[in-house]
Structure 1
Amino acid sequence: MYLPPIESNCNYEPFVSGDVTIAPDVAIAPGAILQAAPDSRIAIASGVCIGMGAIIHAYNGTIEIEEGATIGAGVLIVGKAKIAAKACIGSLTTVLNCDLEPEQTVAAGSILGDTSRKVSENFQPSPTPIPIPTPTNVEVGTRYNTFIQPKPVSIPETSGAADIEEEMTTSIDSEEEPQPPSMETRYNTLIQPKPISIPETSGAADIEEEIATSIDSEEE
């Protein structure tokens, strides 16, 4: 496990706050912090050695360090604890509400004590939030699909391709406008010669006379 190096340039005095009792022959290195919260206290017996940058914070109880115990550099002791006589705590160790036996040795970088959070007996889980109702229970895709419904197209079963083509051609022809008669048709209908009856007993002279009479009557 990687342990960060401890800076050795601490040149400020240890900090002591709250109800703290220290024996005369206790060795405290620079940068150490001894702090007792209200209604809590710290008691350090003779012969104790506290390393550089160690933090001892009493909270909701008493932290008692008995004779000859050694607290390594960068050690953190929080809560209430009892460090028995001649116990040795390695550097960068964390002690949370935990007691040590006499002459007990703790490796550097260890974590001792209960690190979990306690839940109160009166704790009640938050109720499940009520989902907010939507204007409609239909999905967006369904709403858009129901806007336009195409009409079904019926195709006769008996009609073949030829019948359908013939019906379409007849429908188109019926819609076309009537065309005016051609020039040849108009000229043919303007002049209609009258039939000439030739008697069977008439001769050539009579035929010429009747033709001349017919032409004269038309000119008039």
Structure 2
Amino acid sequence: MPEADITLYTAATMNGWKPLIFLEESGLNYSLEPIDFSARTHKTPAFLALNPNGKIPVLVDHAAADFVVFESGAMLWYLAEKSGLFLSDDPKLRSETLQWLMLQMGGVGPMMGQTMFFRRFAPHQEEASESALKRFTTESRRLFEVLNTRLHGRDWLAGEAYSIADMAMFPWVRCHSWAGVSIDGLDALAAWIARIDARPAVRRALQLPAPAPRFLAEYDR
């Protein structure tokens, strides 16, 4: 068995940071395997044997007979179950946390991902669609307003404690400036970003794997 209980294959992306934040927060024993997109490491037969979808992150739990977990939301859920951390045992609070986790996976992540594509990448390929950019930017902002309403008078998305819902949502919301989605007037959301950003474990995770992408440096201006 490898020395570390867990191996995490990841890169410095919003989904890639999610399990890194959990692992740094929890203190679980893990090793990091950075994935080089330019080398297409994530499309090699060895990587596809772990995740047939050829995407990061991927986690291998050596303490559980090399059990493999892919999809970042499923990974957070698995790690919470494994460690007993950041997910309540109370059925209602547990469901509440998972509801907000699913909103990130099914709403905020996809909408922000499309916004970034049409704002940052499609224009250079002369394929940008103004209507698509407007659609995804508007929907991302609407979802941010939902989060802002939720966070009025509370520190965290679910219950009274920091949870996997916050860990999942944070990297996607934090990159708002790079995506071109305004958080003007969303004071509760801005305070939540700052609250998580100040956590030492989160700061460590955001520097892994190095170097950080451009939007991280821009956010830290």
TM-score, structure 1 normalization: 0.18
TM-score, structure 2 normalization: 0.18
Greater strand content: 1
Please identify the structure whose Cα radius of gyration is greater.
Answer: 1
Relative contact order: is structure 1 or structure 2 higher (C-alpha 8 Å, sep ≥ 6)?
Answer: 2
